[in-house]
C-alpha cells in the first residue's frame, strides 16, 4: 500500500498517475489539509462588526425564535452538511480510526463543494459505541441541514442510520451503503435495456455482504428484482438459512439452502456484483455465465476481475468497476453531492427511497444523451455513445448536477418530505450557473496560494 502508484491506461500505455510523494505533497503544501472556512460577509468597519455580531445579530436570533424555519434564511444551515465518521471502515484500509480517516472526510468535503457547492464540516469522532454515535449526531441537528455518515463499519452502520433517519428531522445518508447502490442501480437499468433482459428474471450473484453489498441488494429489489433471485456470498460462502450466526441484515438475503460455491452458483447467472476482494472472480466463472452477462466488479482499488480479463473470455459482457481507467466507472461522487443538493434546496426532512430511485433513473437517462465535448476532452476520448461501454455518465460530467438534483428535489416534493416547493424549471436552469460560479471562486482561491501549477498531476504533463 505505502509508496504504491495509481495506474491508468493512456493510449495503450500504462503510466503512473501520481506517486506517494505527490499525493502527500497535495495534502501538505500551502495551508495543511484540503478545506478552509472563509467569511462570506464583510467585516471592515464598525457597522459591519455590529451587524455580524452584537447587537445586530440579535435580529436574526429573534427571527428564528419566532419561526424555526428562518434558520434556513439567516444562517448557513441550509447549505451545510456534516460528514461524520468514526473511522471503523475507511476505504480499503479498514478500522484505522478517526484521526487517520480524517483526510478521507476532508476529501469528501472538497467533493461536496466542487461538484455541488455544498459546505461541509468533517467531524471525526473517537467513538465506536453505536448508541453514543447516535447520541452525538442527534445533537448536531440545529447546526446542519444534512448528515453524511461515512466509513462506519457494518452491521453498526445500519442501526445507526436507521435510528437517525427515524429520530432526526433533517436528511441522514450513509453514502457507503446507498451511493454505490444508486450509481450501480442506474448502470443496471441501462444494462437491462441494452441486453433486453428483464429485472424480474435476473439471477444475481453478489460477492460481499457488507454495507454496500446489502444496500445494493435492497436497492435492486426496490427496482423490481425478486429477493429470491439474489445469491449473496460472504467470506464463509453462500448465505443460506441453515447457516449459524447470521445477523438480521444478512439473514434477509439468505437462500433456502446451500447451492454450492461461488463457481457453482455463477453457472448460468445473469449478473455478478462484486464488493469484496481482488481476483475472486475468475475468467472461467465469467465464461460460465448466461448470455450477455453483466459484471459489476466494484472492489477498490483492484476489482474482482479486470475489464480486459472479463472481455477476453466474454466479449458480450457488460463490465463496470470503480476505476477511472476503464469504461463504466461506478463512482459515488456521481451521487452524494447531487442527492444532497436537491434535498437541501427543498429543505427536505429526509432522503427517502423515492429520492434515491429518482437519482438512479436520472443518471440512467442522462447516459443516453449526447456527450458534450468538454466531457470527452476531460477523459481524452474522441466519442462516447450509449452502449455496453457507456451505461452511466462519466463522474466529471457537469450535467449530472442539473439532472440528478432536480430529480431528487421533485421526488422530495412529490413524496411529501420537502418543507418548501420549487419551480423545477427555474431551479434546474439555475444549478449550472451556480456551480460554475462556485468552481471559479474555488480555483481563484487555490491559485492565490500559488499551488495550481505546482500540484498538477503527471497525467496533465503528458
* Tens-digit pLDDT profile for residues 247-262: 999 999 999 999 999 9
- By DSSP bridging, strand 6-10 and strand 13-18 are antiparallel
**Do you find a cis peptide bond into 55, omega within 30 degrees of 0?**
yes
Secondary structure class of 386 (helix, strand, coil): coil
* Tens-digit pLDDT profile for residues 170-214: 999 999 889 999 999 999 999 999 999 999 999 999 999 999 999
Least confident range of 112-121, 139-148, 261-270, 451-460: 451-460
Grid cell listed for 268: 448460468
Least confident range of 86-100, 423-437, 447-461: 447-461
pLDDT value of position 29:
80
Residues labelled as active-site residues = 53, 108
Looking at residue 401, the DSSP 8-state letter turns out to be I
* pLDDT beyond 80 at 459: no
In angstroms, rounded to a whole number, what is the distance separating the alpha carbons of residues 331 and 170? 25
Number of C-beta neighbours around residue 70 at 10 A: 15
pLDDT value of position 224:
97
* Tens-digit pLDDT profile for residues 384-416: 999 999 999 999 999 999 999 999 999 999 999
Element (H, E) at 425: helix 424-448
Instruction: Kindly write down the DSSP assignment for every residue of 126-155, as one continuous string.
Output: ----HHHHHHHHHTTTTT-SEEEE-S--TT
* β-pair partners for 385: none
- By DSSP bridging, strand 294-297 and strand 119-124 are unpaired
* Dihedral (CA of 132, 218, 189, 91) sign: positive
pLDDT value of position 53:
93
Asked if 296 contacts 289 with a C-beta cutoff of 8 angstroms, the reply is no
Share of the chain above pLDDT 70, in %: 93
Model's pTM, two decimal places? Answer: 0.90
pLDDT value of position 9:
46
Confidence of residue 318 (pLDDT cuts 50, 70, 90): very high
Q: Which residues contact 41 (CB under 8 A, 6 or more apart)?
A: 48, 52
Domain architecture of the chain: domains with CATH: 59-177 (3.40.50.10380), 178-422 (3.40.50.720)
Nearest-5° angle of CA 100, CA 105, CA 107? Answer: 110
pLDDT value of position 435:
85
Least confident range of 51-55, 275-279, 368-372, 445-449: 445-449
pLDDT value of position 451:
65
* Average pLDDT, integer, range 311-332: 93
Looking at residue 424, the DSSP 8-state letter turns out to be H
Q: List b or e across 105-135, with b for residues whose CB sees 16 or more CB atoms inside 10 angstroms.
A: bbbbbbbbbbbbbbbbbbbbeeebebeebbe
* Mean of the per-residue pLDDT values of the chain: 91
Amino acid at each position: 500500500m505505502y509508496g504504491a502508484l495509481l495506474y491508468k491506461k493512456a493510449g495503450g500505455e500504462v503510466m503512473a498517475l501520481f506517486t506517494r510523494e505527490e499525493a502527500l505533497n497535495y495534502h501538505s503544501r500551502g495551508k495543511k489539509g484540503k478545506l478552509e472556512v472563509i467569511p462570506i460577509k464583510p467585516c471592515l468597519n464598525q457597522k459591519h462588526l455590529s451587524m455580524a455580531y452584537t447587537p445586530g445579530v440579535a435580529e436574526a436570533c429573534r427571527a428564528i425564535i419566532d419561526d424555526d424555519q428562518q434558520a434556513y434564511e439567516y444562517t448557513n444551515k441550509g447549505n451545510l452538511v456534516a460528514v461524520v465518521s468514526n473511522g471503523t471502515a475507511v476505504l480499503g484500509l479498514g478500522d484505522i480510526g478517526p484521526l487517520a480517516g480524517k483526510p478521507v472526510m476532508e476529501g469528501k468535503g472538497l467533493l461536496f463543494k466542487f461538484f455541488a457547492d455544498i459546505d461541509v464540516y468533517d467531524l471525526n469522532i473517537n467513538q465506536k459505541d453505536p448508541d453514543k454515535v447516535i447520541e452525538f449526531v442527534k445533537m448536531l441537528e440545529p447546526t446542519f441541514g444534512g448528515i453524511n455518515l461515512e466509513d462506519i463499519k457494518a452491521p453498526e452502520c445500519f442501526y445507526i442510520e436507521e435510528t437517525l433517519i427515524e429520530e432526526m428531522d433533517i436528511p441522514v445518508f450513509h453514502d457507503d451503503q446507498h451511493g454505490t447502490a444508486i450509481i450501480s442501480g442506474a448502470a443496471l437499468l441501462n444494462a437491462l435495456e441494452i441486453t433486453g433482459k428483464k429485472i424480474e428474471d435476473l439471477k444475481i450473484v453478489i460477492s460481499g455482504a457488507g454495507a454496500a453489498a446489502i444496500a445494493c441488494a435492497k436497492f435492486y429489489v426496490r427496482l423490481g428484482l425478486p429477493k429470491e433471485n439474489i445469491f449473496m456470498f460472504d467470506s464463509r460462502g453462500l448465505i443460506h438459512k441453515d447457516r449459524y450466526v447470521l445477523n438480521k441484515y444478512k439473514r434477509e438475503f439468505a437462500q433456502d439452502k446451500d447451492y454450492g460455491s461461488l463457481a457453482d452458483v455463477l453457472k448460468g447467472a445473469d449478473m455478478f456484483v462484486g464488493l469484496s476482494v481482488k481476483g475472486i472472480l475468475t475468467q472461467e466463472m465469467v465464461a460460465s455465465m448466461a448470455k450477455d452477462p453483466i459484471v459489476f466488479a466494484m472492489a477498490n482499488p483492484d476489482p474482482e476481475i479486470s475489464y480486459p480479463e472479463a472481455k477476453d473470455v466474454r466479449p458480450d459482457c457488460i463490465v463496470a468497476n470503480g476505476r477511472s481507467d476503464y469504461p463504466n466507472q461506478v463512482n459515488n461522487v456521481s451521487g452524494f453531492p447531487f442527492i444532497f443538493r436537491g434535498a437541501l434546496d427543498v429543505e427536505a426532512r429526509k432522503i427517502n427511497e423515492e429520492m434515491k430511485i429518482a437519482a438512479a433513473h436520472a443518471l440512467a437517462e442522462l447516459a443516453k444523451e449526447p456527450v458534450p465535448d468538454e466531457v470527452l476532452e476531460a477523459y481524452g476520448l474522441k466519442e462516447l455513445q450509449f452502449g455496453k461501454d457507456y451505461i452511466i455518465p462519466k463522474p466529471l460530467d457537469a450535467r449530472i448536477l442539473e439532472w440528478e438534483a432536480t430529480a431528487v428535489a421533485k421526488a422530495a416534493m412529490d413524496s411529501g418530505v420537502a418543507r418548501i416547493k420549487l419551480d423545477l424549471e427555474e431551479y434546474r436552469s439555475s444549478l449550472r450557473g451556480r456551480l460554475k460560479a462556485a468552481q471559479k471562486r474555488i480555483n481563484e482561491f487555490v491559485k492565490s496560494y500559488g499551488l495550481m501549477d505546482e500540484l498538477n498531476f503527471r497525467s496533465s504533463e503528458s
